[in-house]
Each structure stands twice: as C-alpha cells, then as structure tokens.
Amino acid sequence: MNYDVVVVGAGPAGSTAAKNLAEKGLKVLILDKATFPRDKPCGGGLPTRVLKRFPYIEPFLDSISYGTTMYSSSLRYKFNLIREKPFLMMIIRKDFDNNLLSLAQHTGAVFQGGKSVVDVLIQKDKAIVMLEDGQSIETQMVVGCDGMHSVVAEKTKLCKKLAVLCISLMQEQPLKPTQLTTFFTKKKLTYLFIKIQGIAGYGWVFPKKNCINLGIGEFQSAVSKARPKKPLKETYDAFISLLKEKKLLPADFPVENLKGATLPIFPLENTYGDRVLLCGDAAGFINPITGEGIYYAMASGQIAAQIIADAFKTQDFSHHFLRKYQDFWVEDFGRDLKALGKFNNQWGMDSEKIIRMMTRDMKFARLIIGVNGGQISFIKYKKALILRYIYVLFKNLFSKKKK
C-alpha cells in the first residue's frame, strides 16, 4: 500500500508529526522497530513549556513537581526553590509515548510496530522505504524520527559520525506514595547534584506518583582527556549511597534494572533533503546543558508536518523547498540550542561559584534555571542574565570589603 508520508519512529517526534499530518488530511504510516507500549530510558521530567505548546498532553502527565534542591559538586552549597506554580512535569515515558502514538492513530495515522527499516531510496518521483522483512513501501515523503542512530539519516547521507556526546545511567523504581511524601513532600521536590562525584554532568532525583526516577548523565564532550576514566556504574553506586546518607532514599533501596542511554548534543548540519526531513534525536535536537529532548522532538515534529503539508500543496518535495523546515526550526528553537551549546564545556569546569551565586540572589537563580531548563529563551534573556551575573559579582565583592 502507498502512503503520502512515512514516519520512521513512533516516539514523541514521530507521533507528533504523524498526528499533525493526519489532521491535515494526509495518508500517514508510522513505522517502528519496537511494538508499543515500549519502555525507553529517560528521566521523564518535562519543562512546563511542553504543556503550554501542546496542551493536549495534560492527561498524559504522571505528576507535577513544585520545586527543587540543587547541590554544588562539593555539597558545600545548596540552593532551594519551592513555588506555587509547577517547576517540572513528570511522565512515565512508556505510557507517555504510547498515549501520543494512540492520539496519532486516533487522528487517522496507521501504525505498524515491529518493523525495522533497513534502507530509504530517494527517487525523482517518489521515495521507497525498505523493511527488514523484505517489504517495500512507496511514499512521497519520509520523516526520520528514529533516534540518535537514525537509519533514515544514514541512508539519505544526512548524518555525520557522532562521538558519544552524553551517556547516562538510570533506574525507575517503585516506591509507595507514603514514602514519596516522606522523602519529597507533597510538592514532589526534585533534587539535582551538579558534577556529582566529579563527573562532567549531574545526578537527578525525580519523584513521581508511584515511583522514583534516579540517574546520572555525563557530557563526554566536556570531559578532560587528562582525567582518569571512571566507570559510570561506580559513580552511580556512590550516588545512591550519598542519597541514602542524606535520607533521600530508604536504606534498603536496591540498585537494579539499570538502563543506559546515549544522546546527541548538537544538531546536524542539514536536517532536510529531497523528500526527507529529520526530527528529534535523529536531527540532534537535545538541550546541550540538561540533555532534555522531548520538547524539541515534539516541536520539530509539528514544524515538519506544516512544511510537508505546504510541499503537498505545491507538489514540490525537493531539498530546495524543504529547506524551509530548517529555517523554521532554527528560528523556533535552534538559536537557543546553538547558544546553549557554547556553554556545554562548562560541565568540565568548576561549578561551585555558580551555585554559590544562586544561593545569594534569587533573581539570578531563576534566570539560570529558566534558561538551562528550557523554560525561557536564552537568546531573549541573555542580556538580563549577563547583567544579573555582573550585579551579583559586585554585590558579593562589596559585601566582602565591608567585612
């Protein structure tokens, strides 16, 4: 059977693209090598702007956090933020992805799970998607939403050789609601440990409705080559021990069912070609400071759907026309990703001063959290952040002189 558009990958990017395309009256097929529901390693913390842009996800949320505590690497400095408005929204990734896929199907998209794509052939009048089982599917457009090691990107020569830019280790463990309230209060406060155990990254603790998500992530691009390599599992074990010492986990909390993940950090140079667009992780759309990617996945899927709908109106599926996709995502969120990317190497440097400054100036702290967490645009607030940084520096300097 032929389709107008074949979307490869049924994660947040693929399901969002498929939903929007089907709503525009196009015949859409979603392919994924996994059957759904399927689990995926993920912290499951979403910035609030995801809900603001995609309000239909509200029923898919597991819980909401109303604050956080951030520790510096030495644990000497601790910043607390508790608020009345949501700080982070929590999801169970297995359920969230499955709900997004069901929504896409409800709008008319067809889904086939357990289908591995092995090749994509771009021809003058069509594209052909080849499956591992020998099946071939003809279409006018292909949307690659198949993750960091995208087959679509590879076969259409849009990918580049990527080093492992971020590696993470995590677990999601059931806990009783009474335990979660005892450790994290009814506000479900999250915890972030900056450069825990000296890694170029951070550790997180995300309480949810009936479980807790813990993990550590290290940005390989910021790791000093002179620093001796330490197994991430060893760092994770030490992290769990610390959490128990700080009474943030039960003493008998087990380390089990660990899952690892790798993430790209920087967008690909080209995310479009003749009859093909790339979205989400396949395009390298990840926050280079936090590793969060669901917002960018869904936003890029939404943008891709609009450009593809325009391509059908003009019957122009060339890379010349589809370049508009890259222009749109750059304007939408790409400039922020590029600007934040310049600070990725900060993970390999001393972070004590920043956390200390956050503890001494709430306005500066809110700007740092908002920008790094993707709640506000770095481009729009860059000047305000720099000015506040200078203000706090001088304020601390004068307070020392008075002493």
**What pLDDT is attached to residue 228?**
63
CA distance 245 to 189: 18
Q: Which class is 66-90+163-263 in CATH?
A: alpha beta
CA distance 54 to 60: 11
DSSP 333: I
Length of the chain: 403
* Alpha-carbon distances, residue 345 vs 137, 348, 350, 351 (angstroms): 43, 6, 11, 11
Q: CATH 3.50.50.60 spans which residues of the chain?
A: 3-43+93-161+265-341
Q: What is the mean pLDDT of residues 133-158?
A: 95
**pLDDT range class, residue 343, cuts 50, 70, 90:** confident
For tokens 């759904």, name the residue. Answer: 36
- For 297-337, how does the pLDDT look when each residue is reduced to its tens digit (9 = 90+)? 999 999 999 999 999 999 999 999 999 999 999 999 999 99
Note the pTM of the prediction, 2 decimals: 0.93
Give the chain's mean pLDDT: 92
Would the pLDDT of 92 be above 90? Answer: yes
DSSP 114-180: S--EEEEEE-SS-EEEEETTS-EEEEEEEEE---TT-HHHHHTT--------EEEEEEEEE--HHHH
CA distance 61 to 307: 29
Strands of 264-303, DSSP E: 272-273, 276-278
Would the pLDDT of 215 be above 80? Answer: yes
CA angle 48, 49, 51 (to 5 degrees): 75
Q: Which class is 3-43+93-161+265-341 in CATH?
A: alpha beta
Assigned token pair, 91: 């999801």
Q: What is the mean pLDDT of residues 276-290?
A: 94
